[in-house]
Amino acid sequence: MIKMKQFSQNAALCVLLCFSLASAADEIQDASKLFKQGQQAQALEKIESVLAAKPKDAQARFLKGLILTEQSKIADAIKVFTALTDDYPELPEPYNNLAVLYAGQGQYEKAKVALEMAIRTHPSYATAHENLGDIYAKMASQAYDRALQLDKSNTSTQTKLEMIKDLFGGSNRKTTIASRNVVTGVVSAPKPSAVVANAPSSPVVPAAAPAPIATPAAPVKPAATVTTAPAKPLVASDTNEDALKTVHEWAAAWSAKNAKKYLTFYAREFKTPDGESRSAWEEQRKARISAPKSIHVEIKDAKVKLIDANHANVSFKQLYRASHLHTSASKTLELVKSDGKWLIAEERAGK
C-alpha cells in the first residue's frame, strides 16, 4: 500500500527559512526555530501574536498550519490551509498540504481535487504531480480490491493489484493509518516577493596523492630503472558510478524477469518491507516477477549520496511498465558494500 510521509520538522523548516519578508520577519524566524526544536506550543504562541497584528499574513498562517499539523490538530490545520487557498488562490503549496491532510484521513477524492488545483495554479509544481500519481495509484488499488471482493476468480484484476502492491508495497509504503500518510507530504512555503538563495558550497575534492620521489639507482649496477605510475586514488565519482551500475543492473534483471539474478542484488541483512522472513519475501517477489507477460523498469534522475566507504543511498524515479499497467514513483535504495560489491540493504519509497 502507499505510505504518506508525515510532515517532518526538518523538511518543513528547510522551506520555512525562506520566510524572510521584512514585516514580522524576526518573530516568524523565532517561531521557526521553536518549531524546529519541537516546541510547537511556544511556536504557535509566537505566530498567534504575529497574526493578531497582521491576520492576513500568508507566511504566518502557513507556519500555523504546519504547527497544527505537527500537533495532530488536523481539522484546525485543514481550516488554515483552506482559508489560504481562498485568500491566495494563486499559491499551489496550501492546496498540496490540504491534499496531504485529506489523504491522511482516507479522503482521496478531496485530495485529488486539491492536487489538481495546485497543478492548475502552478503547472510545473513537481511535488503535486508526484502526489497526484500516488493518489491515483491508491484509488486504483482500492478499486481492484473491491473488484476482487465481488469476483475472487478474476486473475486479471489480481495481477493488476499485485503490480500496484509491487510498486508501492515493496518500498515500505504501508497500509494507511491515522498517524501515517499516503502521498508525499513535502511542504513548501508560499513564495515571498524575493528569495535570496545561498550559493552552494564548493564540493570538497580529495587531495591527489603526492607523486613518489624517485630514488637514484645504486652506482654498482647501472641497470635501467622501470618507473610505474602511482595508483589512481579512489574518488567519489568512481564509487558513485559503481553504485549506479548496481542499480541499473538490478533494474535490468527485473526487466528481464530473471528472478534468480534479481534476488542476488539484495544483501544478506536486507530489511524486508513488512518484517516478513527473507524466504517468504523472496517467494513473493518470484511470484510477482513471473506474473506479468513482460516487465520494463526504467531508472531516471538517479542521484547517489555516499555515506561512507561502505554505505550509500541512491534516489531515483522508477518507471514501471507491465501489461496494461504504467506507473512511476520515487524510490530510494540503501546500499551496503559487501566483498567489494554494492548490495541493497533497504528499499523504500520517496527520496
Burial class of residue 305, CB neighbours in 10 A (0-12, 13-18, 19+): middle
- The pLDDT, as a whole number, for residue 316 is 92
Q: Is the pLDDT of residue 208 over 90?
A: no
- The pLDDT, as a whole number, for residue 68 is 92
Confidence of residue 326 (pLDDT cuts 50, 70, 90): confident
CB 319 within 8 A of CB 330: no
> Each residue of 236-275: pLDDT tens digit?
566 788 899 999 999 999 999 899 999 999 999 999 887 8
CATH (residue range 9-171) = 1.25.40.10
Burial class of residue 133, CB neighbours in 10 A (0-12, 13-18, 19+): middle
Residues contacting 300, CB < 8 A, separation 6+: 316, 317, 318, 319
Domain ranges (residues) in the chain: 9-171, 236-349
> Each residue of 178-204: pLDDT tens digit?
223 334 444 444 443 333 333 333 333
**CATH value of 236-349 in 3.10.450.50, 1.20.140.10, 3.30.930.10, 3.30.300.30:** 3.10.450.50
Q: What CA–CA distance (Å, rounded) separates 129 from 18?
A: 23
> Each residue of 120-161: pLDDT tens digit?
887 877 777 778 877 777 777 666 666 667 666 666 555 555
